[in-house]
Amino acid sequence: AQRVTQPEKLLSVFKGAPVELKCNYSYSGSPELFWYVQYSRQRLQLLLRHISRESIKGFTADLNKGETSFHLKKPFAQEEDSAMYYCAFTGGGNKLTFGTGTQLKVEL
């Protein structure tokens, strides 16, 4: 079965520090991976997808098939980055499966 794992429930960093939110998946084929974000009192929304290979709000994520990972990174955290981040995955044309999420807290 396809599964996505986010090992950290909470990640706390200081403003200006680098951020890395971990995501690992289990799937033997070619996956499609996404990061969704939920800011306080807002709805869940797409942050980025690996196919696009773009940087959104300073965040990037690279698909590493060897390590089956899709970690989300940002070199310098900002206060407005505080939110809940969900890694999501689909493989073989199936529905989107979400991880349990990581709460990012950026402290001043």
> Hey, which residues between 49 and 108 contact other proteins (CB under 8 A)?
49, 86, 90, 92-101
**Among candidates 25, 36, 35, which has minimal Cα distance to 1?**
25
Alpha-carbon Rg for the chain in angstroms: 13
List the one residue from 12, 26, 45, 55 that touches other proteins (CB under 8 A). 45
Tell me the sheet residues that pair with 5.
24
Q: Does 10 bind other proteins (CB under 8 A)?
A: no
Site for other proteins (CB under 8 A): how many residues? 21
Q: Does 46 bind other proteins (CB under 8 A)?
A: yes
The CB density around residue 88, as the number of other CB atoms within 10 Å, is 21
Q: Which is nearer to other proteins, 60 or 97 (CB)?
A: 97
By CB under 8 A, which span of 19-27, 44-52, 54-62, 67-75 interacts with other proteins? 44-52
Contacting positions for other proteins (CB under 8 A): 6, 9, 32, 36, 43-46, 49, 86, 90, 92-101
